[in-house]
Structure 1
Amino acid sequence: MKKRKVPLRKDIVTGEMHPKKDLVRVVKNKQDEVAVDPTGKMPGRGAYISLDVEVAKLAKKQKTFDKAFGIKVDASFYDDLVAYVDHQQARKELFGNDA
């Protein structure tokens, strides 16, 4: 069986390349609304961040998505992002890579 190529994406906070399934996409739409995109298919400008709570907290501290999207991102979005990443990280530890 032929080995499939694993799609890689760059983590916007650390600058490291990771497999796409180990990252979460954050998207900004035309109305300048920023949201977490768990499916990876929402329309708009996307940026990726690792499923690591420390990286999410660093993004909040550095206001990474403000710089990436060129808009003022609400502080509550960063809190939601940290909570989402924490939840996904816990799922991964509990269920392994199948989750």
Structure 2
Amino acid sequence: MMKTKKIPMRKCVACGENKPKKDLLRIVNNKEEGILIDPTGKKNGRGAYICKDVKCVELAKKNKNISHALSAEINEEIYKEIANYVVDSE
């Protein structure tokens, strides 16, 4: 009997859907660097996951989901960066 590897699941902060971790984008609040996109998913700090979908980015911005998840203020630049990242990765 082969043991199947468990796929780590994470919840999108915008739409609330559970998806495999690798299908989501991690945004991290890092003490040294502040808030940034973490494509590796390995940076230190508090992380929030979001679908690689412009609609979810817009929703998260509107409802301040990422700010709540990271307990930090998110500025316009970061949302632009996330949106651009999402568009480029499609």
| Residue aligning to 2:80 | 79
Higher percent of residues as strand = 2
* Counterparts of 2:6 and 2:37, CA distance in 1: 25
**Structure 2 gap ranges (5+):** none
Relative to the length of structure 1, the TM-score reads 0.80
**Which 4+ runs in 1 deviate beyond 2 A?**
none
1:71 Cα offset (Å): 2.1
Report the secondary structure of 1:61's partner residue: helix
Relative to the length of structure 2, the TM-score reads 0.88
**Contact 1:8/1:18 (CA < 8 Å) preserved in 2?**
yes
Q: Are 1:14 and 2:29 an aligned pair?
A: no
**Contact 1:32/1:71 (CA < 8 Å) preserved in 2?**
no
Give CA deviations for 1:39-90 in whole Å, capped at 9, x if unaligned: 011110011001111111111222222222222211110011011011112x
1:31 Cα offset (Å): 4.6
TM alignment of 1:56-95, pairs within 5 A:
56-89=57-90
Report the secondary structure of 2:37's partner residue: strand
Report the secondary structure of 1:26's partner residue: strand
Read off the aligned partner of 1:17 and give its amino acid letter.
Answer: N
Report the secondary structure of 1:5's partner residue: coil
How much identity, in percent, do the aligned residues show? 44
Give the count of matched residue pairs.
Answer: 89
* Counterparts of 2:32 and 2:22, CA distance in 1: 27
Report the secondary structure of 2:7's partner residue: coil
